[in-house]
């Protein structure tokens, strides 16, 4: 009886397996390749140059130390060790931040219902990664991820310098009510002539009304200070800028 | 780009070797080769198209980062499956919502399920829905092992990788999950199965 029963269940499960509606596989290779091309593989030449640079720095520091020990004046001479071009952000570092799916810029443009703004003429340049979420809010949400940039040092843990998020939503002072009650500092500031909010420190939750009028709970994706404001129906969020002035400068450059 | 036909003729081992040396098109070929398996496996875990695509994509990126740790001579397929399935489970955990697999429309049912009479077709569809409902009510651990075995078309080694457990425990996990599935089935379904 047990055997008969087991055979019946096996047969049913086999039939059921053929009935499960599995969607067609989306093409992933192009987006993965784009992300990987931004990863710079260290060449042997690069490795040798790095070693050479390290040796040169050590030699320079030794000379400076010896000069100081011997009381040799080095007045007027300043040694500047440039940071050079920052390494591109490795793929996958922002994957677990709930930003959506990794896409190319063109894919992002066609996935959202608004014109994406980019910080033109700033040290940020092109984003390292672009993420899109079409689940929430209505009209989609785009996230521009930037790694280490001059003036915008990456967080050592997340390796992200700046994160800019854009989506259609209404925000107001009540969006941050809970935060204020919890003692988080939320400052009302001016951003491109509109009212914005500067939320200082921590990983915080807030809410907004999306284009359908539905209330959506959201969270800041990075630990750090955040500037959030609404402009022409589009809500924008800048996370990771070192100061309010830096965030406001980036906001002014968004076109 | 012009060498895509040539890359398609390479073995996994040759592509992995190239990818390890920074050859992105070689890895792109690997992604193309396994994206269907990765997406299907992720979908069976998260039961959501966007989440499954994100999990599979994330898995491919993580796998690339871990290629140096991939043991030469071992199979790429189960190794990748482990990474993709972990990414999918992490997404399911963080989304904190219970999702269910869906059945195809009756018209698309497999030939074995198509019955001559409309009444029999309806009954068969009802039985499928009952069985799927019982599977979805199981614990996630039991659900995953049944789903991988019956819907995933995976080998035992691949199941072990996707479930992130030793190969030797797959059978015992499956046996326990099947026993709990039987307990969870409605009496009417049990009778139908005994017929």
- With beta carbons under 8 A apart, name residues in chain A contacting B101: 20-21
Share the mean pLDDT of chain A: 71
Task: Give the chain A residue whose CA is nearest to the CA of B103.
Answer: A20
Alpha-carbon distance B181 to B149, whole Å?
A: 14
**What is the number of other CB atoms lying within 10 angstroms of the CB of residue A207?**
16
Specify the higher pLDDT residue, A123 or B189: A123
| pLDDT tens profile A160-172 | 888 999 988 776 6
**The pair of three-digit structure tokens given for residue B27, joined into one six-digit string:** 């890895």
- Contact state of A102 with B56 under an 8 Å Cβ cutoff: no
| pLDDT reported for residue A44 | 42
The backbone torsions φ and ψ at residue A252, rounded to the nearest 5 degrees and listed phi first, read: -70, -25
Contact A141, A122 (CB under 8 A): no
Instruction: For residue B66, give how far its alpha carbon lies from the nearest alpha carbon of chain A (Å).
Output: 12
B115 burial level (CB within 10 Å; 0-12, 13-18, 19+): middle
Ranking A64-73, A102-111, B128-137 by mean pLDDT, the lowest is: A64-73
What's the rounded mean pLDDT across residues A124-129?
Answer: 88
CA distance B9 to chain A (A): 17
User: Chain B interface, mutation test: which of A6, A7, A8, A16, most B Cβ atoms within 10 Å?
Assistant: A16
Other CB atoms within a 10 A radius of the CB of residue B53 amount to: 24
- Judged by DSSP in three states, B21 sits in coil
For B21-80, the pLDDT digits (tens) are: 888 889 999 999 999 999 999 999 999 998 899 999 989 998 998 888 888 778 899 999
Query: Touching check for A8 and chain B: CB below 8 Å?
Result: yes
Q: Is the pLDDT of residue A223 over 70?
A: no
CB contact under 8 A, A16 and B128: yes
Give the model's confidence band at B81: pLDDT under 50 very low, under 70 low, under 90 confident, else very high: very high
* Min Cα separation B165/chain A (Å): 23
Q: Is the pLDDT of residue A143 over 60?
A: yes
Judge whether B172 is closer than 8 Å to chain A, CB to CB.
no
Q: Which of A87-91, A225-229, B52-56, B61-65 has the lowest mean pLDDT?
A: A87-91
Q: Residue B134: list chain A partners with CB under 8 A.
A: none
* Interchain pair A27, B35: CB under 8 A: yes
Q: Which of residues 127-166 of B touch A (CB under 8 A)?
A: 127-128, 131-132, 146, 150-151, 153
Q: What digits encode the pLDDT tens for the residues A23-49?
A: 899 989 888 888 787 654 434 444 444
Q: Which H/E stretch holds residue B137? A: none
Q: B56 and A28: CB-CB below 8 Å?
A: yes
Q: In chain B, what are the domains?
A: 7-95 (1.10.1740.10), 114-194 (1.10.10.10)
* B117: contact with A, CB 8 A cutoff: no
Nearest CB to A135; choose among B50, B112, B151: B50
| Across A191-203, average pLDDT | 75
Nearest-by-Cβ selection for A28 from B57, B112, B193: B57
B102-106, long-range: CB within 8 Å, 24+ apart, which pairs? B102/A20, B102/A21, B102/B47, B103/A19, B103/A20, B103/A21, B103/B128, B103/B129, B103/B132, B104/A19, B104/A20, B104/A21, B105/A21
Burial of A105 (0-12, 13-18, 19+ CB in 10 A): middle
Angle between helices B156-163 and B167-184 (to 10 degrees): 80
Which of A56-65, A72-81, A209-218, B84-93 is least confident? A72-81
Q: Rounded mean pLDDT of chain B?
A: 83
User: Quick check: A159 pLDDT over 90?
Assistant: no
A161 vs A68, residue with greater confidence: A161
How far is Cα A23 from Cα A45, in angstroms, rounded to an integer? 46
**pLDDT tens column, A8-30:** 788 888 888 888 888 899 989 88
What span, in angstroms and rounded, lies between the C-alpha atoms of B91 and A225? Answer: 26
CB B69 within 8 A of CB B9: no
Q: What is the pLDDT of residues B125-152, one digit of tens each?
A: 778 888 899 999 999 999 999 999 989 8
Residue of B nearest to A31 (CA): B57
- Longest CA–CA span in chain A (Å) reads 98
| Confidence category of residue A218, pLDDT binned at 50, 70, 90 | low
**Closest by Cα among B152, B148, B149, B112 to B128:** B112
Contact at 8 Å (CB) between B128 and B103?
A: yes
- DSSP string across A135-184: SSSTT-EEEEEE-SBTTBPPPTTT--SEEEEEEEEE--GGGGHHHHHTT-
């Amino acid at each position: 009886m047990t055997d008969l029963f087991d055979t019946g269940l096996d047969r049913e499960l086999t039939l059921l397996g053929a009935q499960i509606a599995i969607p067609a596989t989306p093409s992933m290779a192009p987006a993965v390749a784009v992300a990987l091309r931004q990863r710079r593989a260290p060449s042997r030449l690069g490795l040798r140059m790095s070693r050479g640079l390290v040796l040169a720095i050590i030699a320079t520091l030794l000379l400076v130390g010896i000069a100081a020990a011997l009381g040799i004046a080095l007045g007027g001479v300043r040694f500047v060790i440039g940071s050079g071009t920052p390494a591109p952000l490795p793929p996958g570092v922002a994957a677990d931040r709930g930003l959506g799916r990794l896409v190319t810029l063109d894919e992002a443009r066609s996935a959202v219902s608004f014109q994406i703004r980019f910080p033109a003429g700033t040290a940020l340049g092109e984003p390292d990664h672009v993420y899109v979420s079409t689940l929430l809010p209505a009209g989609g949400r785009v996230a521009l991820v930037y790694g280490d940039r001059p003036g915008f040092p990456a967080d050592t843990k997340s390796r992200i310098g700046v994160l800019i998020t854009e989506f259609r939503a209404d925000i107001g002072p009540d969006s941050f009510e809970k935060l204020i009650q919890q003692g988080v500092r939320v400052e009302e500031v001016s951003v491109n002539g509109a009212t914005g909010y500067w939320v200082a420190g921590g990983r915080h939750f807030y809410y907004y009304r999306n284009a359908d009028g539905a209330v959506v709970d959201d969270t800041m994706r990075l630990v750090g200070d955040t500037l959030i404001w609404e402009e022409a129906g589009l809500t924008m969020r800048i996370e990771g800028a070192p100061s309010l002035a830096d965030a406001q400068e980036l906001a002014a450059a968004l076109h | 780009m012009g060498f895509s036909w040539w890359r398609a003729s390479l073995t996994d081992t040759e592509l992995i070797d190239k990818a390890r040396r920074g050859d992105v098109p070689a890895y792109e070929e690997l992604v193309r080769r396994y994206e269907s398996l990765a997406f299907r496996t992720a979908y069976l875990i998260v039961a959501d198209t966007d989440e499954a695509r994100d999990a599979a994509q994330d898995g491919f990126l993580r796998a690339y980062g871990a290629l140096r740790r991939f043991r030469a001579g071992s199979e790429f397929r189960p190794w990748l499956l482990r990474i993709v399935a972990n990414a999918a489970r992490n997404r399911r955990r963080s989304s904190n919502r219970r999702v269910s697999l869906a059945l195809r429309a009756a018209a698309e049912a497999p030939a074995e399920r198509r019955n001559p009479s409309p009444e029999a077709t309806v009954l068969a569809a009802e039985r499928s829905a009952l069985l799927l409902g019982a599977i979805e009510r199981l614990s996630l651990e039991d659900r995953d092992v049944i789903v991988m075995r019956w819907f995933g078309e995976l080998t035992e080694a691949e199941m072990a990788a996707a479930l992130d457990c030793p190969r030797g425990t797959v059978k015992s996990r499956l046996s326990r999950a099947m026993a709990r599935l039987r307990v969870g089935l409605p009496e009417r379904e049990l009778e139908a199965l005994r017929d």
